[in-house]
Amino acid sequence: MNSSETHAVIVGGGFAGVACAKQLQDHPGVRATLIDKNGFHQFQPLLYQVATAELTPADIAFDLDEMFLAAETVKVRVADVTAIDPAQHSVTTGTGDVIQGDILVLAAGAQPNFFHTPGADEFAFPLYSLPDAERLRSRILQIFEDVAEHPALIDSGALNFVVVGAGPTGVEIAGALAELVHDVMPHRYHDMDLSPAQVILVDLASDPLSVFSEAAHEYATRQLNRRGVKLQLNSSCKEVARDHVVLSDGTVIKTHLTVWGGGEMAAPVIADSGLPIGHGGRVDVERDLTVTGFPGVYAVGDAANIPDDDGSILPQLGSVAQQAGGWVGRNILADRSGDKHTPFEYHDKGILAMIGRRAAVAEIGEHRHELHGRVAFAAWLGVHAMLLANMGAELKAFTAWAEEFYLRPHHRSAELLDPTNINTPRIHWRDDKPASKR
């Protein structure tokens, strides 16, 4: 038994970082410093609900200080990590502070991967963080407000909403955006002709939700079509401009809003860490989640390529990140006790996607038992409630929202539909670009 204190520095307050800190809390001789640039955990699976004005930002943001209020051995630091020194188990923050520990856990999260698409970094709206969701919601609501005042903007594609990427993120935002456009906004703007409005989902694949089964492809296609989503498949986005996108087949679509759900990669600080980097700019790790050649360094969540027992790489899912983060905590404690590390074993909860109200698809468990509709929504709700519960987050608001979302008619509060409540500059239609950069 090691009698000296073990200090773990954990970078990132997402599912993996929080799970690791919770596993380490209150163990004698172990303390953890959890560093996050925002100081809150964002419940990423519901970002699209904030973007389409179903939820407020406060509904999916959980203060890390409050989360660890009773944990005397966990200290939360609000700071932006700008450099990593894996050999010294230390990080440098934007203010120049150096935080060093005995163990370094990298759970720094993700950023959008634009795949070098011209204009995407400047003009597309990604959806990987709470600020992303707020900027996107602001843009959507401002467009409708401006079109209500100046209907001629429709001719310039103001009511064309393009979503790039037909994976779960793209399908969820496309379905929710179509419902906002076609079912909610007509009740707010009674005198505006919204018939030209369209949501266009673009992907190089031949079906939406390509990682799901063929039956799920058909279900998703049917549900998206029912909501008025136009599927532009077998075609990739080749350029994003201020007022249009260009597809690989030469199609030009006028638009002032391109939502980017086309892929993600590790946070930029990971690329400069000197660690072995693999697919998606993520750190390649061993089965016990350590990094070869760097004793005492772990990588998890969207910062890591985590191998399964068959050698394949596990998907970037909240359940993978949360389970891996807790596993790292247990291996750190095993080190302290003089026990051996154990290889990570992922309990597969399946893959899930919401397509809108009363429409969901789920493939549950290792054998991918397929569910659609109400039962799939119940499975989706259960998995996400478990993610929240494992963080110690309050479930009452989540379950109340779920009941409201699934069972009752469309509604939005005045606060949610009022763009003036969002601190984002107005759109300048002759110089149309995102209001702020990441």
Instruction: Just list the catalytic residues.
Output: 172
Strands 125-126, 359-364: pairing is: unpaired
Concatenated DSSP letters of 302-315: GGEE-B-TTSPBPP
CA 41 to centroid of chain Cα atoms: 11
The Cα–Cα gap between 428 and 426 comes to: 6
- Give Cα 201 to chain centroid, integer Å: 18
Vertex 379, ends 373 and 384: CA angle to 5°?
125
Helix H or strand E encompassing 330: helix 318-337
Residue with the two structure tokens 């520095």: 9
Single-letter amino acid, residue 280: G
Asked whether the beta carbons of 247 and 253 are under 8 A apart, the reply is: yes
Contacts of 5 (CB under 8 A, 6+ apart): 29, 30, 31
For residue 410, the tally of other CB atoms under 10 A from its CB is 13
Helix (H, G, I), strand (E, B) or coil at 159: coil
Structure tokens, 248:
């690989």
- CA-to-CA distance for 291 and 225, rounded, in angstroms? 45
